Amino acid sequence: MLYRQPLNQRQKILKKLGLLGRFGVIFSIVLGSILLAWIVMAQQPVTLNLLMTAPDAQPWKQGIIKDFEAQNPGIRINIIEGPNATNLLEDLYTSAFILGESPYDLINMDVIWTPKFAAAGWLLDLTDKISKEELAAFSPKDVEGGRYEDRLYRIPVRSDAGMLYYRKDLLEEAGFQPPETFEDLMKISKALQQQKKANWGYVWQGRQYEGLVAMFVEVLEGFNGFWVNSDTLEVGLDRPETLNAIAFLKDTVKEGVSPPGVTTYQEEETRRFFQSGQAAFLRSWPYAYPLANEPTSPIKGKVAIKPMVHAPGQSAGACLGGWGLGIAKSSKHPEEAWKAIKYFTSREAQRRFILNAGYVPSRKELFTDPEIVAKYGHYPQLLEVVDSAVLRPPIAQYAQASDILQRYLSAALTNRMTPEQAMKSAADETRRLLKAGQAKI
Ligand code: GLC
């Protein structure tokens, strides 16, 4: 009897211990699995979504994305290919932002989008992530295009500026110097057409889309006109200079220098037309240069570029284009997104991207990099064009202002309205838009 009591207690203790032990095992298994799942999850790469135009996606996919992913195994870049028109791409980004959680982490932004996206609060402010010294390596105009109200939202990846391409072989054969004025361009075109050296003189982007406006600001600048002064918000669309610019474009078609189809052409249609050897002059961006000189191109080695023509006594206008990266405020991976931006805008990545795709750098020193110049001899000259290029008005209502100009300009070019009527309406609508914008502030 005496020893039974402690035995029972021992048994009870042992039983309890057994129970605890079993719980312990189960608990450890559960904890272990959670830990394992967490480790597996932590090892899963973070995916950053990035939407861009389909033709842009190819050089990205071939080169710098692969390099970045190899150096950063924890981050994947998922490129989504969008339509090949900046305004359509902007619509996709805009509707994603308006609907709430945007699926995009990195925003591949045209230089004209920054004010709108920043004003709407869709972008992370990158001002404090990059020093003044680091920014000084980029072309100042490109950096400017990434600012809104003194804050920085976009880091330039590649620059762009409109220019005039010409067939140096044809001009030399016929004894012409490259044209300086609008008149020269018409005169040389007609002569080459008469001599049956070229079917057409000049091709330009005339479809109703953003490219029309980019092309038009160059002609406007060449006539000393302006669209919107972003400091004073003055609108210059109903001034005589604008009507002169429209008259020049209409004349190219009326006088048979440009094919009637130009009013439906975007960049790629004009590039193919010129590259097939059908025209003596083309207005385009630098991306067309390596394509025109590719081994299968009928005009390989026969092309030169120069700043756009202008009216006598005026200077050439180049529209500043270009693309850069921002981060969506709604991104769940801002740290990784910044890491990607730092890489894609680095000297090394840009250098490879340019050598591979022939895009224009945004880092100044690359314009004169010996390896790049050996491949693209015209780059040092391009830096001057980029530095003096004209920004489309950096205003938050840019997309609407551009839409107004696109509609009325297209109506004037396709004879649906007289240029006077069209530009009067365009100017009035633009003034109303800017006034409404000011009222909101
Ligand atoms: C080019 C330019 C861009 C411009 C577009 C118009 O992509 O880089 O700035 O808006 O062409 O088509």
Q: Are residues 327 and 366 in the same domain?
A: yes
Other CB atoms within 10 Å distance of the CB of residue 13: 10
Which run of H or E residues covers position 165? strand 163-167
Question: Domain boundary residue among 382, 415, 431?
Answer: 382
How far does residue 210's CA lie from ligand 1's centre (Å)? 7
| Pair of tokens at residue 331 | 């991104």
| Pair of tokens at residue 315 | 């200077």
The C-alpha R_g of the chain, in whole angstroms, comes to 29
Q: Identify whether 194 is part of a domain.
A: yes
Q: Are residues 98 and 236 in the same domain?
A: no
Q: Are residues 282 and 372 in the same domain?
A: no
Query: What was the pLDDT predicted at 15?
Result: 63
Q: Identify whether 16 is part of a domain.
A: no
Residue 311: CB partners within 8 Å, gap ≥ 6?
181, 182, 222, 223, 224, 244
Between CA 342 and CA 322 the distance in angstroms is 17
How far does residue 180's CA lie from ligand 1's centre (Å)? 24
- Residue 372 has, within 13 A of its CA and on its CB side, a CA count of 27
Q: Is the CB of 160 under 6 A from ligand 1?
A: yes
Query: What was the pLDDT predicted at 24?
Result: 66
Q: Identify whether 289 is part of a domain.
A: yes
Q: Whose CA is nearest to atom 1 of ligand 1?
A: 321
Q: Whose CA is nearest to atom 12 of ligand 1?
A: 211
Indicate which atom in ligand 1 lies nearest the CA of residue 321.
Answer: 9
Dihedrals phi, psi of 200, to nearest 5 degrees: -130, 160
Q: Whose CA is nearest to atom 9 of ligand 1?
A: 321
Q: Identify whether 392 is part of a domain.
A: no
Indicate which atom in ligand 1 lies nearest the CA of residue 53.
Answer: 7
Between CA 266 and CA 256 the distance in angstroms is 19
What tens-digit pLDDT sequence spans the chain (441 residues)? 444 455 566 566 556 656 556 656 666 666 666 666 566 556 689 999 999 999 889 889 878 999 999 999 999 999 999 999 999 999 999 999 998 878 999 999 999 999 999 999 999 999 999 999 999 999 999 999 999 999 999 999 999 999 999 999 999 999 999 999 999 999 999 999 999 999 999 999 999 999 999 999 999 999 999 999 999 999 999 999 999 999 999 999 999 999 999 999 999 999 999 999 999 999 999 999 989 999 999 999 999 999 999 999 999 999 999 999 999 999 999 999 999 999 999 999 999 889 888 889 999 999 999 999 999 988 988 888 888 899 999 999 999 999 999 999 999 999 999 999 999 999 999 999 999 987 654
CB 337 within 8 A of CB 315: no
Q: Are residues 257 and 111 in the same domain?
A: no
Q: Are residues 313 and 325 in the same domain?
A: no
Q: Is the CB of 97 under 6 A from ligand 1?
A: no
Query: What was the pLDDT predicted at 36?
Result: 60
Q: Is the CB of 109 under 6 A from ligand 1?
A: no
Dihedrals phi, psi of 175, to nearest 5 degrees: 75, 30
Indicate which atom in ligand 1 lies nearest the CA of residue 85.
Answer: 12
Q: Are residues 265 and 329 in the same domain?
A: no
Q: Identify whether 340 is part of a domain.
A: yes
Query: What was the pLDDT predicted at 161?
Result: 95
Q: How many structural domains does the chain have?
A: 2
Other CB atoms within 10 Å distance of the CB of residue 313: 7
How far does residue 86's CA lie from ligand 1's centre (Å)? 6
398-413 and 240-254 are packed helices; what angle lies between their axes, rounded to 10 degrees?
Answer: 50
Mutational pocket test of ligand 1: of 210, 265, 359, the residue with most ligand atoms within 8 Å of the beta carbon = 210
Q: Is the CB of 110 under 6 A from ligand 1?
A: yes
Q: Is the CB of 358 under 6 A from ligand 1?
A: no
Q: Are residues 154 and 185 in the same domain?
A: no
Q: Identify whether 378 is part of a domain.
A: yes
Q: Are residues 370 and 286 in the same domain?
A: no
Q: Are residues 254 and 336 in the same domain?
A: no
Domain that includes residue 110, residue range? 46-159+321-382
Query: What was the pLDDT predicted at 441?
Result: 47
Question: Domain boundary residue among 382, 413, 431?
Answer: 382
User: The domain that contains 327 carries what CATH number?
Assistant: 3.40.190.10
pTM comes to: 0.88
Instruction: List the strands of the sheet with 303-306, edge to edge.
Output: 200-203, 279-284, 163-167, 303-306
Q: Are residues 129 and 179 in the same domain?
A: no
How far does residue 392's CA lie from ligand 1's centre (Å)? 11
Q: Identify whether 26 is part of a domain.
A: no
Q: Identify whether 421 is part of a domain.
A: yes
Q: Are residues 375 and 407 in the same domain?
A: no
Mutational pocket test of ligand 1: of 204, 285, 289, the residue with most ligand atoms within 8 Å of the beta carbon = 285
Indicate which atom in ligand 1 lies nearest the CA of residue 266.
Answer: 12
Q: Are residues 286 and 407 in the same domain?
A: yes
| Pair of tokens at residue 111 | 């230089």
How far does residue 4's CA lie from ligand 1's centre (Å)? 94
